[in-house]
Amino acid sequence: MERARRLASRAILKRLVNETKQSSNGQMSCRSPVLYTPSRYVSSLSPFGSNCYSRSALSGGRNVPNSFGSQQVRSISVEALKSSDTFPRRHNSATPEEQAKMAESCGFDSLDSLIDATVPKAIRIDSMKFSKFDEGLTESQMIEHMKMLESKNKIFKSFIGMGYYNTHVPPVILRNIMENPAWYTQYTPYQAEISQGRLESLLNFQTMITDLTGLPMSNASLLDEGTAAAEAMAMCNNILKGKKKTFIIANNCHPQTIDICKTRADGFDLKVVTADLKDIAYSSGDVCGVLVQYPGTEGEVLDYGEFIKNAHAHGVKVVMATDLLALTVLKPPGELGADIVVGSAQRFGVPMGYGGPHAAFLATSQEYKRMMPGRIIGVSVDSSGKPALRMAMQTREQHIRRDKATSNICTAQALLANMAAMYAVYHGPEGLKAIAQRVHGLAGVFASGLKKLGTVEVQGLPFFDTVKVTCADAHSIADAAYRSEINLRVLDAKTITVSFDETTTLEDVDKLFKVFSGGKPVSFTAASLASEVETAIPSGLERQSPYLTHSIFNMYHTEHELLRYIHRLQSKDLSLCHSMIPLGSCTMKLNATAEMMPVTWPGFTDIHPFAPQEQAQGYQVLIHKHLFT
């Protein structure tokens, strides 16, 4: 490489010397074709008309003498004064000459004639005009525009819950995975021989899910929790070969999950029934499955042991939607007898982002492995007999079975699954448990403080991170919280839930006490109550079984150790850092760096999807005025 650089430098120097000699002999100097041939590397301000330019083209709008004493006219074009950091110049790599050559190799004299021969005129439009940004923005203009939109969003402290929580994204993961093109451009590991790094990370994700849920098999992520629940519903239908067409959803599930299942059920010709847990019955003989939430959407932690036994006695499969952080301290669903477990890995180091995307999961038993949606990473051997990883079953079967396939293998969130897996690797089993105990402890301190205040009533059921409160006027309390830039979840006129997360502090709890005090002075602090608070989890539901025992989750707990592990994995993969990617990058490689930057800005990442719309005006402009106009 160094020798090539030296040779190129010599050639350029030799050409410059020759030009100087020509000028000294009274010849008009011609720009070197090597230096000034139209190229993707040359500024868009450079004129491409010919290799020789008159002094007038370079000077300006008045007559100036050149080296030969003659007068030339100089003019400045408006185009030359425009910003040069345009998207096409930086991201469309083929020059007009290269495009013509490619068209010629296909048997056409131009790109236009190639399009004329391949795209029927009947489906074309005469012209494409956008009501906004028709000329496009430069990279710097786009960044400024996104900053303006971000400024329209207001970040309130969220206690809404419902499956979405604030989280601390470890900087080593944010910088070296989320913002690293060596991880986000290659994305999907279709080709095992160039994907061993991210295949290992996705295998870590699967291991994390199977350990925490207590079930032996997991896929390598799905699109979101609601989608995962709908896929589980379809599995229940397939397991019973479509003979039973009713799917029951307990009303303690998140409302968005219920809505998604109802929408997807139409495509499977399934009937969705929602009911209170105590009212669920299987007497119709037409029920294929039932979905419950653990912990419930209103915070309750219930023992589903007898419920699941009763469902199984009637031939009904049980799907349990759950929370990964809660499962570090709660008895896992597999030990309770659940057939399928779904949920989201969002609170494992993936920001809320106004609703997503987030990596979901689906775990089940070996018995149903060929009915699982998405993709599964498996351990195999390479051509030399060494251990190697690959996408197992789904890569082959989904394409071969086609209409009988369980789902599209693209229904995954590889990048975000990798972030969640690295979050578990970084914290390890003890670190995750410490976060869970802290979150549960803050919720316990809050519940204890409310009882001490005596202004509201706290629900008596066990909870993990969400406290349900009954009060005289829920909207009045929510308004008081709003004035303190706090968002609560209002269930009805007299009921509120308050959900705690990794980012909650003792100071936040003190602010909540003031909100719920009804204007009365608060004579205590969260810190002063801590020693009096006991766990709210029943002993029969406390987790006893170990998890994340594999060495990979117990080795990289400092930043430099995890940094080296991340880079060791990425060095095994082919990404846009090396070349164009033949398979498995979808849209990720098409995103410019300037487009990726706003994705991690707090004004976009830290908004709960159910925050009031007036707090998300920047998003509203994006959704309603940019995407659909």
Instruction: Decide the pairing of beta strands 71-73 and 63-65.
Output: antiparallel
Instruction: Specify which residues 330 forms β-bridges with.
Output: 542
Q: How far apart are the C-alpha atoms of 217 and 341, rounded to whole Å?
A: 10
Q: Would you state the structure tokens that stand for residue 88, as one six-digit string? A: 């096409």
Phi, psi of 594 (to 5 degrees): -60, -30
What are the tens digits of pLDDT across the range 172-204?
999 999 999 999 887 778 788 999 999 999 999
Does 109 fall in a domain?
yes
Query: Hey, is 274 helix, strand or coil?
Result: strand
CA proximity to 311, closest of 274, 337, 293, 334: 337
- Taking the C-alpha atoms of residue 52 and residue 427, their distance in angstroms, rounded to an integer, is 63
Task: Please write the tens of the pLDDT for every residue from 556-601.
Answer: 999 999 999 999 999 999 888 888 776 655 555 668 899 999 999 9
pLDDT, tens digit, 9 for 90 and up, residues 315-359: 999 999 999 999 999 999 999 999 999 999 999 999 999 998 899
Count structural domains, the chain: 1
Evaluate whether residue 459 is within a structural domain: no
DSSP 8-state symbol, 22: H
Average per-residue pLDDT for the chain: 87
In a domain, 179, yes or no: no
375 domain-assigned: no
The per-residue pLDDT for 21 is 63
pTM of the full predicted structure?
Answer: 0.86
**Could you tell me the end-to-end alpha-carbon distance of the chain, in angstroms, rounded to an integer?**
49
Average pLDDT over every residue of 21-45: 46
Q: Which two tokens stand for residue 105?
A: 């190799």
Whether residue 357 has a cis bond before it, omega within 30° of 0? yes
Task: Indicate the helix (H) or strand (E) that contains 544.
Answer: none
Do the domain assignments include residue 24?
Answer: no
Q: What is the DSSP letter of 161?
A: -
476 token code pair: 């009045």
Residue 133 lies in a domain: no
For the ranges 113-127, 142-156, 533-547, the lowest mean pLDDT is seen at 113-127
112 within domain boundaries: yes
Q: Which domain holds residue 116?
A: 95-121
What angle is formed at CA 210 by the lines to CA 424 and CA 379, rounded to 5 degrees?
Answer: 90
Q: Locate tokens 């991170």: which residue?
A: 465
Distance of alpha carbon 376 from alpha carbon 272, whole angstroms? 28
Total residues belonging to the chain: 629
- The answer to whether 585 and 187 are in contact (CB under 8 A) is yes
pLDDT tens readout for residues 128-165:
777 777 778 899 999 999 999 999 999 999 999 999 99
Give domain status of residue 101, yes or no. yes
